[in-house]
């Protein structure tokens, strides 16, 4: 029996790997071992609880105010022993986090093939998103099986000289997750509070935006709320203390802005589906919103997810206060603009990505 080790450590990786683990575990020919690094703590536990998944190993590496080097060193130091003990036939990593990069590196050092879920996303700017663009390119240098979510991602890989026979276009597993979470009869006290208003859902956490850029984003949102009496904002604040500090400084005491704890993924998807507009610097949210037909103003200078921009649902508005404010105001005032963005599209998948990845893994094992 072949053994697959799945390694992840942050909220978005967990949301995107859990549907795949469930699919892998259905298969009697595979022994699936789950190892979390614990790069995130509470935000990871939330996801594991929702999907009711057990972990075989938790490296518990999270420390307050962890630096990139500290994360890398801790995982490198802890993961090797686990991998040596299990000696899997394949290690699956996801996306572009420090966990993904170091887990892939560990596998590479031990001569174990790597499967990269969500391979091929690119901005080709290592400063944006930082350090994720480096991480994902580095992982793809040592990947044996590329699971590209879209044709665009596949073409990036081909342009870089990766072999076509190693690339599988699968869709993004986040859409698999999304299919199970949104409920028509969902109720929640915060959604109740926002009823009758236009709900802006806000998230922000990118490392390159911490500090003044993030303060500018929040000030833009505050100006919008002061100007539009029918707008309410719900902001599930990331656990990063640097984010929390700026959020509290700018928003505390502002009427019609609610800062709440991170939501579990079922709540968050349902909040998305009931929002009027989403403002975010998140990656995953850019993939989910088109499937829900929700316009997103992306508070970044570039995106590795151009499919949603082409579909018309995402608009890149940069990180400068004035532009975020102006673009948001335009959408709130101009119904034609808003309706043009409010369209349903599924550029990131059909909900069967996990099945395709599992089939590709089985096919790979039947050939080696």
Rounded Cα distance between 266 and 252, Å, is 27
CB 235 within 8 A of CB 257: yes
- Identified binder of ligand UDP from the candidate list 5, 6, 11, 298, rule CB under 6 A: 11
CB of 114 vs ligand UDP, minimal distance in Å = 19
Q: Which is nearer to ligand UDP, 89 or 264 (CB)?
A: 264
Contact pattern for ligand UDP over residues 213 through 242, marking x by CB under 6 A: -----------------------x------
In angstroms, what CA-CA distances link 28 with 48, 93, 321, 356? 22, 21, 53, 16
Q: Which is nearer to ligand UD1, 30 or 308 (CB)?
A: 308
Rounded Cα distance between 351 and 354, Å, is 8
- Identified binder of ligand UDP from the candidate list 131, 284, 349, 351, rule CB under 6 A: 284
User: What element of type H or E holds 49?
Assistant: helix 42-51
Rounded Cα distance between 8 and 21, Å, is 11
CB 299 within 8 A of CB 219: no
Contact pattern for ligand UD1 over residues 333 through 362, marking x by CB under 6 A: ------------------------------
> Is-catalytic flag, 96?
yes
> Is-catalytic flag, 208?
no
Q: Exactly one of 78, 118, 176, 301 is catalytic; which is it?
A: 118
- Residue 42 engages ligand UD1 in binding (rule: CB under 6 A): yes
Mention every residue, 6+ apart, whose C-beta is less than 8 A from residue 71.
Answer: 39, 61, 98, 99, 102
Taking the CA atoms of 260, 266, 272 and 278 in sequence, report the sign of the dihedral they define: positive
> Is-catalytic flag, 80?
no
Q: Exactly one of 63, 207, 230, 343 is catalytic; which is it?
A: 207
- Residue 176 engages ligand UDP in binding (rule: CB under 6 A): no
Q: Which is nearer to ligand UDP, 262 or 306 (CB)?
A: 262
Mention every residue, 6+ apart, whose C-beta is less than 8 A from residue 31.
Answer: 1, 2, 3, 4
In angstroms, what CA-CA distances link 199 with 103, 229, 235, 272? 39, 11, 10, 9
CB of 124 vs ligand UDP, minimal distance in Å = 18
- Residue 290 engages ligand UDP in binding (rule: CB under 6 A): no
- Identified binder of ligand UDP from the candidate list 263, 279, 298, 328, rule CB under 6 A: 263
- Residue 258 engages ligand UD1 in binding (rule: CB under 6 A): no
Residues that bind ligand UD1 (CB under 6 A): 10-12, 39-44, 62, 64-66, 68, 71, 96-98, 131-132, 205, 207, 239-240
Q: Which residues are catalytic?
A: 96, 118, 132, 205, 207, 238
């Amino acid at each position: 029996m072949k053994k697959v080790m799945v390694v992840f450590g942050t909220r978005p990786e967990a949301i995107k790997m859990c549907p795949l683990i469930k699919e892998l575990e259905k298969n009697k020919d595979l022994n699936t071992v789950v190892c979390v690094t614990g790069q995130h703590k509470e935000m990871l536990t939330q996801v594991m609880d929702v999907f009711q998944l057990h972990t075989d190993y938790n490296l518990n590496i999270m420390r307050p105010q962890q630096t990139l080097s500290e994360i890398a060193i801790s995982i490198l130091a802890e993961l090797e022993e686990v991998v040596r003990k299990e000696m899997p036939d394949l290690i699956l990593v996801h996306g572009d986090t420090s966990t993904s990069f170091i887990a892939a590196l560990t596998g590479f050092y031990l001569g174990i093939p790597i499967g990269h879920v969500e391979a091929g996303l690119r901005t080709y700017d290592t400063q944006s998103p930082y350090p994720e663009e480096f991480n994902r390119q580095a992982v793809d240098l040592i990947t044996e099986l590329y699971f590209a979510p879209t044709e665009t991602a596949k073409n990036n890989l081909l342009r870089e000289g990766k072999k076509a026979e190693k690339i599988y276009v699968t869709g993004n597993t986040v859409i698999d997750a999304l299919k199970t979470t949104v409920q028509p009869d969902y109720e929640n006290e915060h959604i109740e509070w926002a009823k009758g208003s236009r709900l802006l859902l806000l998230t922000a956490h990118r490392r390159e935006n911490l500090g003044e850029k993030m303060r500018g984003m929040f000030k833009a949102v505050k100006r919008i709320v002061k100007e539009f009496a029918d707008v309410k904002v719900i902001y599930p604040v990331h656990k990063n203390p640097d984010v929390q500090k700026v959020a509290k400084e700018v928003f505390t005491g502002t009427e019609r802005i609610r800062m709440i704890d991170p939501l579990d993924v079922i709540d968050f998807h349902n909040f998305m589906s009931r929002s009027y507009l989403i403002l975010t610097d998140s990656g995953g949210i850019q993939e989910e919103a088109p499937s829900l037909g929700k316009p997103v103003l992306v508070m970044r200078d570039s995106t590795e997810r151009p499919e949603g921009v082409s579909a018309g649902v995402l608009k890149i508005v940069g990180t400068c206060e004035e532009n975020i404010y102006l673009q948001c105001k335009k959408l709130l005032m101009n119904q034609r603009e808003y309706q043009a963005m409010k369209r349903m599209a599924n550029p990131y998948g059909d909900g069967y990505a996990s099945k395709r990845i599992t089939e590709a893994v089985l096919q790979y094992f039947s050939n080696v």
